[in-house]
Amino acid sequence: MRNSESIYYNLRGLRYHVRHWRGAAARKMVLLHGWMDVSASFQFLVDALKGDWDVYAPDWRGYGLTEWSGADNYWFPDYLGDLDALLDRIQPESGVNLVGHSLGGNVGGLYAGVRPQRVARFVNLEGFGMQATLPEQAPKRYGRWMDELKTTPRWRPYASYAELADRMQKNNARLTRARAEFLARHWGKETGGGVVLRSDPAHKLVNATLYRIDEARACWERVAAPVLWVDAAESEALSRMKLSPEELAARRAAFRNLRYRTVQNAGHMLHHDRPEEVARLIEEFLV
């Protein structure tokens, strides 16, 4: 297993944790994790890389070892601001190779359009956006958000890291026991005689604002970097969202220079299920 070090930056008022796997400075790669995930989730992918890549992976605000915001909920644009501040620290003068999974893929896709000069190449792993919404859904969404603000979200406790690993394997039958036990010790922390997730429970609250696909597409159309779009043949996330093949094709078409690949025998957590295949696709694209 390739060793990593922890770096801490003060980004936008928060103590931000960034996992760093040291490699050749000229071969820099930034990995962005998904919702309810952590930077250590990329360990299997990093281990599968053949080249001497210098890899950075932040824990988003309120996740892993990064400080919680202290607010009662989280706002998507903050991820863009945090990424911009991070790149100012680790690669301020040239475009970076950006790889994002799920939430991280959605952040990376928008960022590459808003700051096209900051991204050299972009790999999108299952970050296909959200379901399109209609304006008339807004009153109900705002009402739900205000109702949820009146509650105190909490995580259910697990008796041990082993029980958390059991739950991970129940959610993803492809996850090996060794990988589940590794992830459990990074996703969870001991507290009060049990184990709870390291993530801020405020992430559970619904977003107050609707997902506006036209705004996302406007950002995607400004992406200048070559894009590798990778999805999983058995993606549970895609099934839940019920996006049609035609709608997905239209979203991919918004990127002017895109290569499309599908990983077989993998679900949404494809970097856990098939890290060797995902690493191969990334390196073929970046080299």
Count of the separate structural domains present in the chain: 1
Question: Is residue 59 within 8 Å of 39, Cβ to Cβ?
Answer: yes
Q: Is residue 172 domain-resident?
A: no
pLDDT in tens, the chain (287 residues): 999 999 999 999 999 999 999 999 999 999 999 999 999 999 999 999 999 999 999 999 999 999 999 999 999 999 999 999 999 999 998 999 999 999 999 999 999 999 999 999 999 999 999 999 999 999 999 999 999 999 999 999 999 999 999 999 999 999 999 999 999 999 999 998 899 999 999 999 999 999 999 999 999 999 999 999 999 999 999 889 888 999 999 999 999 999 999 999 999 999 999 999 999 999 999 98
Q: Is residue 165 domain-resident?
A: no
Q: Is residue 189 domain-resident?
A: no
Q: Is residue 238 domain-resident?
A: yes
Q: Report the CATH number at residue 24.
A: 3.40.50.1820
pTM of the model: 0.97
Structure tokens at 206: 């619904």
Domain range enclosing 107: 5-133+210-286
Structure tokens at 118: 């900051």
Helix (H) or strand (E) holding 158, with range, is none
Q: CA distances (Å), 112 to each of 31, 93, 129, 255, in order?
A: 14, 15, 14, 10
Q: Is residue 230 domain-resident?
A: yes
Q: Is residue 36 domain-resident?
A: yes
DSSP code at position 225:
S
Quick one: 31 exposed, middle or buried, by C-beta within 10 A (0-12, 13-18, 19+)?
A: buried
Q: Is residue 156 domain-resident?
A: no
Numbers of helices and strands, H then E, in the chain: 11, 10
Q: Is residue 201 domain-resident?
A: no
3-state secondary structure of 95: coil
